[in-house]
Amino acid sequence: MTASRPADTGLFRDPDFRRLWTADAVSQAGTAVTLLALPLVALGALHADAFQAGLLVAFEYLGFLLLGLPAGALVDRTSGHRVMIAGDLGRAALLGSVPVAAWLDVLSLTQLYAVAFGLSVCTVFFDVAAQSRLPRLVAPDRLVEANVRIEAGRTLTQAAGPGAGGALVGVLTAPVALVLDAVSYLASAALLARIRRPDAVPGGDGVPGAGVPEGAVRGAARDLRADIAEGLRFVLGNRLLRALTLGSALSNLFGTMGAAMLLVLLAGELGLSPFLCGLVFTAEAAGGFLGSLLTTRITRRLGRGPAMCAAVVTSGVLWLAAVPCFQADWRLALAVALQGLGWTAFMTFKITSVSLRQELCPEPMLGRMTATFRFVVWGVMPVGALAGGVLGQHLGARPALWIGALGELAAVLPLLLSPLRRLRELPRSVPSAGERPAWFAARVNGKPDGSA
């Protein structure tokens, strides 16, 4: 315990990391309100059915499917810092349009779909830029710690956000509550603008990037399709990254299928108040916060790979147990507890996966690696949401939740079928992709250390 205190203090003494952390936390606090407010606008004010609610969730992730790959190549060509600020400003403008339309009595589902899609486009670029920016702000051996701090900040603010959001929706109505989210994005942009550390464009204009795979030193005229193809080859050609991508994609596909119907079940079929709906999401965030605090200890004890496998299985079982407990009586408290514990377990996979991806990737490839990962992992989410809407419309919201929870257990299979199942730790200094020694090839190919 005593050895960890200087490291913890040191990161927050860095003003640029502190601004990045605060900006992200402020943004996530507002997003926690939108998590409830946007669907409740559709379900309440516009009387959307299960399919229309699922379609709204699909639009919230459609940008990752359509723009995920080019976003990474474009972020690698420009300043990720400016991209993040532009993403915040765009999201503030889009969310601000909803209460304005409501006040003018012209709000429609079509506008909500457009806003949801616009938010997804801004989020694509913001998230790719953010994950590429972090390794340029902290030392490589502190990436796990930095990601833990980022995730802890997110889940801490999200823990109070949905409950407060439910209360705000009940008092102010859902469209008005979205004003707070728009303000949070403006505050996040202001904090990001104060980061002073330069964000150089890696590998651009003939500047060599150390550790770049063959062909990654690019001039300004480099073909965009070649950049995209390079990112795909890097991620899908690495057994560890490929397993992380497939496992995360399965989790998101089935998780979104159930999540798209959760509010339909709670607010629609069960008729719960916005505040009680918010408690479910508060439990998820609180569980995630607890999980972020335990991640480092769990991975040290079990090793990275075994810890991730255990996290996916444990969270899947807990979420499966929660489905029959979502009722309009005392069982709701049990469902809330199980939902929160599921996120406590899942955070070990989430945080460790992000850190491992960043360590395995050379800096000039970070944007394309992140975009390729998110194209696959987030690109399946509109498919899952749409499937959830169809299932909810024809079978009901609860059967859709059952199918989603059962499917999430399958997310562990790509991990178990890869070297990740026994990967305990990477050395502190991960070599570049063009200079991989025997240990790196052995780890990726699933052979004992030192074997060819």
Q: What is the DSSP letter of 269?
A: I
Q: Are 204 and 77 in contact (CB under 8 A)?
A: yes
* Residue 236 in tokens: 């899908």
Length of the chain (residues): 452
Domain 15-197+224-425, CATH: 1.20.1250.20
- Every domain of the chain and the residues it spans: 15-197+224-425
DSSP code string of 393-415: HHT-HHHHHHHHHHHHGGGGHHH
Q: How far apart are the first and last CA of the chain?
A: 39
Among candidate residues 316, 307, 310, 313, the one with its CA nearest the CA of residue 338: 316
In the predicted structure, residue 190 carries a pLDDT above the cut 80:
yes
State the DSSP string of 329-367.
STHHHHHHHHHHHHHHHHHHHHHHHHHHHHHHS-GGGHH
Is the pLDDT confidence value at 208 over 80?
A: no
Task: Give Dmax over CA atoms of the chain in angstroms.
Answer: 69
How many angstroms separate the CA atoms of 85 and 241, rounded? 29
Phi-psi region of 318 (alpha: psi -120 to 50; beta: other; left: phi over 0): alpha
DSSP states along 19-72 = HHHHHHHHHHHHHHHHHHHHHHIIIIIS---HHHHHHHHHHHHHHHHHHHHHHH
Q: What are phi and psi of 112, to 5 degrees?
A: -60, -40
Is residue 445 helix, strand or coil? helix
**Mean pLDDT of the region 26-36:** 73
Assess whether pLDDT exceeds 50 at residue 5.
no
**Which tops the pLDDT comparison, 378 or 164?**
378
Indicate the range of 113-122, 275-284, 407-416, 440-449 predicted with least confidence: 440-449
Instruction: Tell me what pLDDT residue 260 has.
Output: 81
Q: Is the pLDDT of residue 321 over 60?
A: yes
Nearest to 36 by CA among 150, 187, 181: 181
Compute the C-alpha angle 323/325/328, nearest 5°. 120
pLDDT band of residue 4 (cuts 50, 70, 90) is very low
Specify the amino acid at residue 390.
V
Percent of the chain with pLDDT over 70: 76
276: left (phi over 0), alpha (psi -120 to 50) or beta: alpha
Residue 237: band (very low, low, confident or very high) from pLDDT cuts 50, 70, 90: confident
For 370-382, give the secondary structure using H, E and C.
HHHHHHHHCCHHH
Question: What kind and span of H or E run contains 286?
Answer: helix 274-302
Mean pLDDT of 339-350: 90
Q: How many CB atoms lie within 10 A of CB 93?
A: 15
pTM of the model: 0.68
Q: How many CA atoms lie within 13 A of 200 on its CB side?
A: 11
By percentage, how much of the chain surpasses pLDDT 90? 18
| Token pair in block for residue 433 | 């992709």
Q: What confidence tens digit (pLDDT) does each residue in 424-433 have?
A: 766 444 444 3
CA pair distance 108, 199, nearest whole angstrom: 41
Residue 156 has what pLDDT?
A: 65
Distance of CA 351 to the CA centre of its chain: 10
| Number of helices (H), then strands (E), in the chain | 17, 0
Q: How many CB atoms are located within 10 Å of the residue 407 CB? A: 19
Characterise 47 by phi-psi region: left (phi > 0), alpha (psi -120 to 50), beta (else).
left
Q: Model confidence over 210-227: pLDDT tens digits?
A: 334 434 434 443 566 777
Chain centre to alpha carbon of residue 217: 29
Alpha helices in 197-273 (DSSP H): 224-236, 239-263
Contacts 24+ apart (CB under 8 A), 276-280: 276/166, 276/332, 277/36, 277/40, 277/162, 277/166, 278/36, 278/162, 278/163, 278/164, 278/165, 278/166, 278/167, 278/169, 279/162, 279/163, 279/166, 279/336, 280/162, 280/335, 280/336, 280/339
pLDDT at 92: 92
Phi and psi torsions of 210, nearest 5°? -60, 135
**Are residues 159 and 282 in contact, defined by beta-carbon separation less than 8 angstroms?**
yes
Reported as a pLDDT band with limits 50, 70 and 90, residue 284 is: confident
